A = this chain, B = another copy of it.
Amino acid sequence: MARPRKQLLSRDIILEAALELVATQRDFTITGIAQHLGVNPSSLYHHMIGGKDEIIEALRERIYREIDLRALGGAESSWQSTIEYWVLAYREAVARYPSAIPLLLGRTVGDAPTLALYEVLTVALTEADVPREQHLTVISMLDALVFGSALDAASPDPLWLCTADGQPALHRAGAADPAPDRIGDGLRLGIRAAISYLEASRALLPSDRPGVS
């Protein structure tokens, strides 16, 4: 009874269960994964020595690996469409696992899929003639857009308990029209704003490249 005839666990099985929890449940615990797999919590440590931290890193890797980068950065696509696709695809992947978002934020990352994701964006910024010392700045702004939108989607509705008397403008805003896809609209608005801004800055640069006005 201490050891089953067939192997019950593997790194892959554990991560699959973790992904499912993080996509459906509100909280994400070692105990929860173990229960989901019908196994003792301590058993997980034979496959994930790093514990919860290692699981989170592996989750990020899996989530970002789902983003298809092949459609990006080809010579035929403009930097505008690359940035647009990057934000949309990134945010779609993240929003699929809402309860993973707080786990992913603010951690040092070194896995290949994540680095590849940001490398592709940086190349696009180079093509957009963004000065090199501003790359991190623009990246952090687009990052904010992605996670802000994903968080917005995971937020309760209504987000504000406002009243027509106390906060008339906010109340009217909430009452105004269904707005079929507010979250998506916000994201697209942010993308357009960012690209317009980059295009405007670009027009001010000294044109030391052929074909650039």
Kindly specify which of A16-24, A75-83, A118-126 makes contact with the partner chain.
A118-126
Q: Contacts A115-B167, A132-B176, A173-B135 hold; do A159 and B109 have CB atoms under 8 A apart?
A: yes
A51 contacts chain B at the CB level, 8 A cutoff: no
Is B119 touching A170 in the complex (CB atoms < 8 A)? yes
Question: Chain A: how many interface residues by the 8 Å CB criterion?
Answer: 67
CA A4 – CA B110 in complex, angstroms?
A: 53
Checking B105, B137, B156 against A106 with a beta-carbon cut-off of 8 angstroms, the contacting residue is B156
A92 contacts chain B at the CB level, 8 A cutoff: no
Is A106 touching B140 in the complex (CB atoms < 8 A)? no
0 or 1 for each of A176-192: is its CB under 8 Å from B? (1 = yes): 11010011011101101
Instruction: List A residues at the B interface (Cβ < 8 Å).
Output: 102, 105-110, 112, 114-116, 118-119, 122-123, 125-126, 132-141, 143-145, 147-149, 151-152, 154-156, 158-162, 166-170, 172-174, 176-177, 179, 182-183, 185-187, 189-190, 192-194, 196-197, 200
What are the nearest 4 A-B pairs in CB distance? Answer: A144-B148, A110-B161, A135-B173, A193-B197
